[in-house]
Amino acid sequence: MPTITLQGTLPAGTTNIYTVPTLGNATINSIRFNNSSANTLTFRKYQAATTTLTPIYSVTLSAGDTLSDSLVYVLAEGDYIQVTTTAANTNYIILLQTY
């Protein structure tokens, strides 16, 4: 199972960070968000098999806060993770395995 690290900076608004490719599966093992200004961050998981977009959590972060999430999220073909932020420049690092 290859391990992939995704990292980047989010704009204000909604972004799909990772979508499982055709015939693939993935497990997210770790997520970290850090922001330079106060904002509200909402994390969602889309399940393609049921066409359901489920909110996992929504948190208000102060400037400089770091949110670390070590829960395991299992994704199947076509599933994706989505993040909405109310302020630009929220950094993220996601550690996942594909299989």
Provide Rg for the chain, Cα atoms.
13
Buried b or exposed e, range 11-49, using 16+ CB within 10 angstroms: eeeebebbbbeeeeebebeebebbbeeebebebbbbeee
Instruction: Give 42's Cβ-side CA count (13 Å radius).
Output: 10
- Domains of the chain: residue spans and CATH: 3-98 (2.60.120.40)
The pTM is what? 0.92
Q: Which residues, other chains included, contact 73 with Cβ-Cβ below 8 Å and sequence gap of 6+? A: 27, 28, 45, 56, 81
User: What is the pLDDT tens value at each position of the chain, 99 positions in all?
Assistant: 789 999 999 999 999 999 999 999 999 999 999 998 999 999 999 999 999 999 999 999 999 999 999 999 999 999 999 999 999 999 999 999 999
